[in-house]
Structure 1
Amino acid sequence: MNSSVDRSTILNRILDTATDNLRIAKILVRMGLDPNNITYDALLNWLFEIVLANITLANMFALIGAIFFVATLLMQRMVPLRVANMVGCTFFVISGALSGSVATFLLYLLLLPVNAVRLRQLLNLVKKARNATQGDRSMEWLKPFMIERRYRRGDRLFRKGDAATEMFLTVTGKFLVNEIGVELAPGRLMGELGFLTPNNRRTGTVECIEDGQVLTITYERLLEIYFQNDQQFGYYFLVLTSQRLLENNQRLQENISRLEATLAQEKAARQTSAGHGIA
């Protein structure tokens, strides 16, 4: 009790000192306050009267809209953020209509469809990424985020050891991975492993062996998609790279099997030759 009285007394002294300043006194008069009678309680009563005078239906809707907008600043996932943003816009639209503020009404009315379109794109991306984890690894959903590029026969897309900054999707033409002699037909992904290597370096050399077209997307854009889509894309990308690693492992096993078979045939041939020599 004594501490609250002391604080009130201190604040009253501060207010008395402030009102001695002519400029502050003028400001207080404009605010509808008496410079000669400014106390802590008087200031609280003045603020309370302002709040009561401005409690209208329009302001209540604006307050709720502001709460949702502040909430978007605390969200890390894009889908809930877009939903909260749309709810906030809706309250501001109603507030603008009730208060007769055309600028507020039109601004937030235009923001609603923008957020709705972006939300739908995000949900579609999440859905397609989720389908991809269940076996559908089509890259059609990623094409709207990619840029077209054309190559002629003999052009080299990248070399082994080069800095990796983008991923490729073949559309037309043929491309060859020199190190393993694998030909990439349309619809194949290239350069995704560079996205996962610690130093972002190419793991192979790819050149164009038949004029064609590819779609490219930078690793920075891939990271944006990853963080914007509830991390479904991260799992999708993990499936893609795992498939590529399994294919490479299978190819390596086949090469080892062929090499073992060749060595076995050579050994058998040498033994046969040695047996004929003894005979």
Structure 2
Amino acid sequence: MTWVEAVGWLGAALAIMGSAMKTIIPLRCIGIAANICSLIVSAYLHNIPGVVANLILLPINSVRLYQMLGLIRRVKNASKSDLSMDWLKPFMTRRKTEAGEVLFAKGDVATCMFYTISGRYRLKEMGIELVQGQVVGEMGFMSPNNTRTLTLECMEAGEVLSISYDEVRQLYFQNPQFGFYFLRLTSERLFHNMERMEEEITRLRAAMPGVETVQKAASA
């Protein structure tokens, strides 16, 4: 077997391996190696169509590999970044709010989420007052029926930024930073709600012995 045949068989084996790959980065790496092998054999045999095809495929696979590695790098950076909304503000719409206004009510169809700029706002059912610079309304996006789980009312006139769920979906699929931001945001909100529930359960359990004592005294 000559070295050219060996390179040709190697290229064939790499092409078969590439077809069996399930993940994109190993596929691109094997594709690049197979292109190089095929290019060498085609050039040695003066196979012009093979040379042209591999000269086109080699840079395409190389560019796609570079893009995927860049995407992974950006995703890793996004997973370590803070939950700043500054970069998202250009995609949002500013609107004024009035005292007593209900921005959304529990059970309503959810179509957007908000970012508080000024004024005072309260989640009515939980009695939580939101500080300025806080995201609210994102849980409706995750809800199976896209319905509001709480009521948000304005206690003091101010301004908010809003973004529709349609725009959120576009950013979610187009921008890995936003995808990780949104997952971290919703996870943080869920964990926070769980902590509040655990604190409430602990408080109720602590109050139960006192209630039992009062009941026994009343029975006596």
- In structure 2, the gaps of 5 or more residues are 1-55
Q: CA deviation at 1:130?
A: 5.3
1:263 corresponds, among 195, 208, 211, to: 208
1:156 corresponds, among 66, 90, 102, to: 102
Q: How far apart, CA to CA, are the structure 2 residues paired with 1:158 and 1:170?
A: 14
- In structure 1, the gaps of 5 or more residues are 1-66, 81-122
Percent identity, aligned pairs only, is 47
Q: What is the SS of the residue equivalent to 2:145?
A: coil
Equivalent residue, structure 1, for 2:149: 203
Give the alignment of 1:1-279 within 5 angstroms.
131-229=77-175, 231-271=176-216, 273=217, 277=220
Supply the AA of the counterpart residue of 1:268.
Answer: T
Q: What is the SS of the residue equivalent to 1:173?
A: strand
What TM-score results when the alignment is normalised by the length of structure 1? Answer: 0.51
Moved over 3 A (4+): 129-132
- Check whether the contact 2:114–2:135 (CA below 8 A) recurs between aligned residues: yes
Change (3 A) 1:189 1:135: same
What TM-score results when the alignment is normalised by the length of structure 2? Answer: 0.63
Alpha-carbon deviations, 1:105-152, whole Å to 9, x = none? xxxxxxxxxxxxxxxxxx9xx95x755522511111111111101101
Alpha-carbon deviations, 1:49-100, whole Å to 9, x = none? xxxxxxxxxxxxxxxxxx9xxx8xxxx9xx95xxxxxxxxxxxxxxxxxxxx
Supply the AA of the counterpart residue of 2:116.
Answer: T
Q: What is the SS of the residue equivalent to 1:167?
A: strand
Alpha-carbon deviations, 1:197-245, whole Å to 9, x = none? 112111111000111111101111111112222x342222111100000
Q: How far apart, CA to CA, are the structure 1 residues paired with 2:218 and 2:158?
A: 54
Give the count of matched residue pairs. Answer: 157
Change (3 A) 1:196 1:256: same
Q: Over the residues paired in the alignment, what is the CA RMSD in angstroms? A: 2.9
Change (3 A) 1:167 1:131: farther
Q: What is the SS of the residue equivalent to 1:262?
A: helix
Structure number with greater Rg is 1
Q: How far apart, CA to CA, are the structure 1 residues paired with 2:128 and 2:137?
A: 14
